[in-house]
Amino acid sequence: MSTPDLPADRCALVVDLAAIRANWRAVRQSFTGAGVGAVVKQDAYGLGIAEVVPLLAALGCRDFWVADLTEAEDVRRSEPSGRIFVLHGLCGGTPHDFRMLGAIPVLLDMSEVEAMARAATDAPVTCAIHLDTGLNRLGIGLEDVRRLVAAPDRLKRLQIAAYVTHLAHFSDPGARANAWQWRRFSAWTRRLPPAPLSFCASSGVFGPRERHADLARVGSALYGVETTPSRPQPIVAAATLTAPILRVHDVPAGREVGYSGAYRTPSARRLAQLGIGYGDGVPYRFHSDAYVLIAGHRAPVVSTSAMSLMSVDVTGLPEQTLRPGQRAMLFGPGLPVDQIAAAAGVAPNVVHVRAGRSAPRFYLPCPDDAGAGTAATARPLHAPQMV
């Protein structure tokens, strides 16, 4: 990809808003339920709430899912009218805090259910309820459901916007445990007052349609991060992380490279130093082979990352691709973030979010509908906006 507008001496995370739009449309086309909501926690997975939320709202997204009240405030500044679900429940706040912001807590245990019911003095208060059907993390269980059914007056004080659960084996659509969780979720919610069901996250919207239920909450798929490696999703990369070549040099055989001799050249090698490191969100250490792309050629990562440097082996690469200022891609179209994440032994979103927090962000604008969504990631950079 062409990068004339990026800083010559710094790494950059380029966010393609048209790719996010294409992914939104792919999700909406696949999901058979009533509505798709966007998960925008962790600053929209590192891509920027202030830019992503208005785009999705313009595309028809009405529900936004965040982790806590601070994120809910960020979303509210960008989208005055959408519904905001807060996945971490009351988060130490009060029902009044949520009412003032117009946010909906996803209650995570019985103490929060009771706190919300007590707050309903004049009229029912709006909330969602998380049911723990197998992840053993957040939510009420079967005994709690029985307690609620036995105390209908408490439930009458709640206006339930959704029942929510989360798959323990989300990355394996065919896992038997997923079917068990769906059966539990369906059975438990049939005993409770009617409300929309939210069962599907990114992997679920492309999974069995009989489990789509009413409301989806999609994060990774919108940003082009694969969640089901065994069953690729029809999504495109929405973020590209690149870094400039700072130096190319020849290193004789048997020389140590990096701190504590983390790498030793097995033969005479040509190395390039890239202007990016763990301070920019790149993993510090790799446990298996990782590589970057330079003009479409693979260059293996060697040694550990420094705070703002990374060493790659460019032996045999065309000379014209190795001039200082040329850029190497760490992830993006044609090089999924899964590759570098797997080599570091972390989830893809770990790399995605950290890069989004640390590297300078630039934005490719979202053009008119003509042709959009078909080649979103192939467009050249022009006048990207930096934040």
| CA-closest candidate to residue 244, choices 386, 360, 127 | 360
State how far the alpha carbon of 278 is from the alpha carbons of 11, 344, 345, in Å: 12, 12, 15
pTM (predicted TM-score): 0.90
Query: Which residues carry a binding-site annotation for substrate?
Result: 137, 307
Characterize the bridge pairing of strands 291-294 and 327-331: antiparallel
Query: Which residues 6+ apart lie within 8 Å of 327 measured at CB?
Result: 3, 6, 242, 243, 244, 245, 294
Strand pairing partners for 12? 242
Q: Please determine, for residue 268, whether its predicted confidence score (pLDDT) is greater than 90.
A: yes
**Residue tagged active-site, from 41, 45, 163, 291:** 41
Length reported for the chain? 387
State pLDDT tens for residues 194-213.
999 999 999 888 888 999 99
Tell me the domains of the chain and their CATH numbers: 31-223 (3.20.20.10), 239-364 (2.40.37.10)
pLDDT at 369: 61
Q: Please determine, for residue 262, whether its predicted confidence score (pLDDT) is greater than 90.
A: no
Known active-site residue 259? yes
State pLDDT tens for residues 233-251.
889 999 999 999 999 999 9
- Cβ–Cβ under 8 Å, residues 108 and 130: yes
**Residue tagged active-site, from 163, 223, 259, 363:** 259
- Cβ–Cβ under 8 Å, residues 320 and 237: no
Known active-site residue 41? yes
